[in-house]
A and B are shown apart, each in its own frame.
Chain A
């Protein structure tokens, strides 16, 4: 069985005014996430991806359908905290996730809640801060850090709980390019070296390209999914839903339309240059 299994989940945020029935924010989603995977979820604001994210650690419970994490049903009250230990959620605004006035004390917050022994907390905090490369800042005040640094501290705060999976809800939306780069490379490292499952919700296609699997959501449903190669090759579908594709993919798509037989759609700059060079020689 998959690590996280989402089966035919529906969810709506209660009835809207005027007596209309509210639209489902999540509208029949079935998705499996395997241990160790790096999954990117893309889609417009309001497509249901953030709502879905909150389902993965039992912050929200499905109206119908079922979600299991490591075999445990998220709807089972007795398992709520066990599930939150296994699946950590990082939110968009880094400022609002840091609860203590000192970096290391913030990172300690999670394990403290779990009642972990003090010496063990210390060890976990140091390890988590090293993993996100923020150890030198352990005694700093969070408000003096840059956006990227704050977000890495927020990730460390989740790591200290020692989850097996981290879900991030648009963690880079409020960051500058440097901060985005810091966060994404941290996530890639955690995924590769610590084998942590990563579910990255993002608007940025250049981030999604780095994932093992891309899930595209629209109107609460899964529009398509597959490897980045498979997903971004469907340039027309993505454009129709007004989603971005990398410029290299767009160019190759146009050239293909003129009859150039690219065997695949290039997602990176290097790949695109090589393919064009071959085509022109």
Chain B
């Protein structure tokens, strides 16, 4: 069940996007989030959407998986866009009782939908093409300056990567525990709120116990493999900026420029 979820998964590959420096990808992703919420007219929205599609195509990952990652949030998208549809201001194009649809509402709905979809697609593109280790490694390096103010950067990154590693394992474990308690007649489907919360106890306690036991084991295993903190550690996969990253930066810069120019020259649609 839980394994079907493709959001946050990594697909190994050799595409141009895979080979971008993960630090570059993270920085670009942050810039992208800002820019997507600064699109105020259809031309700039079109530019960013086209940019998103370009990256998805370059990632050489089947669109099937991108669609699956959207499946999870489709309800939120529909809900917010419908909400926006009816909350526009201006002259109604159509009205039924208190429900009215305006041009402004339609625009808002389109913007919200496109923005959320683009955001999910872009974040999927990031996680699909970047292994968790690369991601945490990049975050560790990007946060390095924070060491000056005594932020335990290496430890944070190590914790993140261990967490990412054990998410699927713990999900599987939860599933197993649930099945075992159901087999003992645990009732999780009926009853009021209090009863349902109580029904979680037989699942949560074993889960915590096992998580602690695992944590202890993992710590032992890490020590056996000569782990002694971040000092003196090297990495197998070196990351460095290459020409490819600068091309990507240039494209993104062009998109940002385009969006700014459009916002100045054209009138806003929302």
Contact = CB atoms under 8 A, between A and B. Distances in A.
Say whether A associates with B: yes
Question: Which of A143, A154, A161 is the most central at the interface, judged by chain B CB atoms within 10 Å of its CB?
Answer: A143
A118 B234 contact: yes
A129 to B, nearest CB: 12
A112 interface: yes
Contacts of B237: 105, 108, 118
B223 A101 contact: no
B225 A157 contact: yes
- Choose among B168, B227, B232, B236 the residue with the greatest number of A CB atoms under 10 Å from its CB: B236
A273 interface: no
Interface in B112-168: 131-133, 161-162, 164-165, 168
Interface residues of B, number: 31
B221 A101 contact: no
Interface stretch (A30-38, A70-78, A85-93, A205-213): A85-93
Given A85-B226, A110-B225, A161-B226, A143 B172 contact: yes
A101 B10 contact: yes
A88 B223 CA distance: 10
Contacts of A100: 132-133, 161, 165
Contacts of A161: 225-226
A230 interface: no
B214 interface: yes
A103 to B, nearest CB: 10
A110 B226 contact: yes
Contacts of A139: 12
A116 to B, nearest CB: 6
A113 B224 contact: no
Interface in B226-254: 226-228, 232-238
B217 A96 contact: yes
Given A59-B220, A81-B228, A85-B226, A105 B214 contact: no
A278 interface: no
B217 A91 contact: yes
Interface in A128-159: 139, 141-143, 154, 157-158
B222 A99 contact: yes
A161 B235 CA distance: 14
A19 interface: no
23 contacts: A59-B224, A81-B226, A88-B224, A91-B217, A95-B169, A96-B217, A97-B218, A99-B165, A100-B132, A101-B133, A102-B10, A102-B133, A109-B222, A112-B233, A113-B225, A113-B233, A114-B226, A115-B232, A118-B237, A121-B235, A122-B236, A139-B12, A141-B168
Interface of A: 57, 59, 81, 84-85, 88-89, 91, 93, 95-102, 104-105, 108-118, 121-122, 125, 139, 141-143, 154, 157-158, 161
